[in-house]
Amino acid sequence: MTSEIAELIKTVNSGEEQLSARMGIEIVEYTPDRVVATMPVAGNRQPYGLLHGGANAVLAEQVASIAAALGAGQDRIALGLELICTHHRPATEGLVTAVSTRLHQGRTTATYDVEITDEQGRRTCSARLTCSIRDKA
């Protein structure tokens, strides 16, 4: 792992003005093919007490964007282009876990499938993120 990738993961997990820190997202595994993270339901609920759909979207984009950045290489960046989320069942407590899996890695785009599950292993959300891969400016 390059020092730049290590710095990316450190920044994401550090909490220094990162949305992921406000959401309680913790990256627990990372490779270009697969990134895994957890997020608490507490603090990320909508008024009915259920995990907010937008929180699912943030979590999905976080894990897939990191995977795309890892796959893009040292001199390139990954920027979210399209995010699609389908919410299957509510989560009301505990942690949810997101696993991103690479579907496509090309020169200019990368697409990842994201499965979010509750602590019982039940799928709560399916998502797909396509990133644009660009040279650093």
Catalytic status, residue 93: no
Q: How far apart are CA 121 and CA 3, in angstroms?
A: 34
Q: Which residues contact 86 (CB under 8 A, 6 or more apart)?
A: 125, 126, 127
CA atoms of 136 and 132, how far apart (whole Å):
12
**Is-contact 42 95, C-beta < 8 A?**
no
- Catalytic residue (one of 7, 29, 61, 119): 61
Q: Which residues are catalytic?
A: 61
